[in-house]
Amino acid sequence: MAHYQILIIGGGTAGIMVAAQLMKKQKGLNIGIIEPSENHYYQPAFTLVGAGTFDYQKTVKPTLDFIPKGVQWIKDSVTKLIPDENRLETKKEQSYTYDYLVVAAGLVNNLDGIEGLREGIESGVVCSNYVDPRKTWELLQKFNGGNAVFTQPTTPIKCGGAPQKTAYMSAHYFKKRGISSKTNVVFATPGSVIFGVKIVAETLMQVIGRYNIHLKTFYAPQKIDSVNKIIYFREVGSKENMCVINENNVLNEKHTGDETIQIPFDFLHLAPPQEAPAFLKYSELANEAGWMNVDHNSMQSNSHSNVFGLGDIAGLPTAKTGAAIRKQVPVVVDNLVRLVKGQKADNKEYNGYSSCPLVTGYGEMVLAEFNYKNEFTPDPELKKMLIFKSFKPHWRLWILKKYMLPYLYWNKMLKGEKV
């Protein structure tokens, strides 16, 4: 049975960054990373791939290129956590023990979370940048008018703004092709507003108006009939916020029962329901919702002091983004080094910072930055560099999204350098 001083589950953004920063900060640590995939993906570019403006091949590189020197790569998947024994088990029937554990496994798509979703994806009728952005671009090019519906589930998802980004990019694409007049772009969300940060929401409502997008709030996708091309939504608003079908019903919406609305579609994109991997979801390290139960400011497990969880699987009341990970990693690394030195893990500096690069069209973007209180909190260094209000669409932010961030990701973040 192999033993590691620090064992990291997950070789994605969070896991690699933790390993890289640990090796820079504390030489000689015995670290292992459990990661089954030989490929590492830059997923923030998937929205651009789905809009035909980024090469998919540039989003993937070998995992081996980013395993820090001196860190052991374990090509395997975790199947069971036994934190009371400081031990875990893997798919290859191996058992590993540790002094400290970092859970950074990322989340998984649940294609069975919405009835008919799996069939729709597999038949090629429904698309999702979360599954295959190349398919989104393929279907966009084939679309010639009708209802283009974009939606998202009731579960937390990776980069909560991604589904609406796809709607904005697609609406702009339809305009460029000259088919806007015969297209109804629909963005349906279970939420009550387009975005939780007020100053950003005000900007996005202007974008929605510019593209003449039909915004449907309190619409939770429930079922997809890919044969007849109909999507069913469940109303999730209160009686004061019931979904209303306008008299001028250009979408051909129909109420089917008290709380169900159906909309026919000619193009459908959505984020699948998402959840933590089963080994975590059903372990004692998870909270009632199935996410990692951690302190919101230190990312230390609330039940096991030698365990940390960060990234998309962490049960934190903020957006699941790479920007959030960028701020979480230094706190987790600092706390781990303190524990290794026999000190208290009392760094609680993470304030919920996250950011969502909201692409609002080809050549422009809004950068929503916020904390646990949903306060607009621009990164001081970024603000200094950009020299303008990032809650407004701007071409410089597009350059940041398409060119600067991928470069920083591959060449700085994954190598443990400060960004």
Residue 284: Cβ within 10 Å count? 12
Q: Report which residue type is found at 38.
A: E
DSSP per-residue codes, 276-325: --HHHHTSTTB-TTSSB-B-TTT-BBSS-TTEEE-GGGB--SS-B-HHHH
**How many Å apart are CA 106 and CA 321, to the nearest integer?**
11
CATH of domain 117-270: 3.50.50.60
Q: Over the stretch 249-297, which tens digit does the pLDDT of each residue have? A: 899 999 887 789 999 999 999 999 999 999 999 999 999 999 999 999 9
pTM of the model: 0.95
Of the listed 19, 31, 127, 159, which one is catalytic?
Answer: 159
Of the listed 236, 285, 356, 365, which one is catalytic?
Answer: 356
Q: Over the stretch 380-399, which tens digit does the pLDDT of each residue have? A: 766 666 556 889 999 999 99
Q: Over the stretch 305-353, which tens digit does the pLDDT of each residue have? A: 999 999 999 999 999 999 999 999 999 999 999 999 999 999 999 999 9
Residues carrying CATH 3.50.50.60, the chain:
2-107+276-350, 117-270
- In the annotation, is 159 catalytic? yes
- In the annotation, is 127 catalytic? no
**How many Å apart are CA 336 and CA 198, to the nearest integer?**
36
How is domain 2-107+276-350 classified at the CATH fold level? FAD/NAD(P)-binding domain (3.50.50)
**Phi, psi (rounded to 5 degrees) for 67:** -75, 120
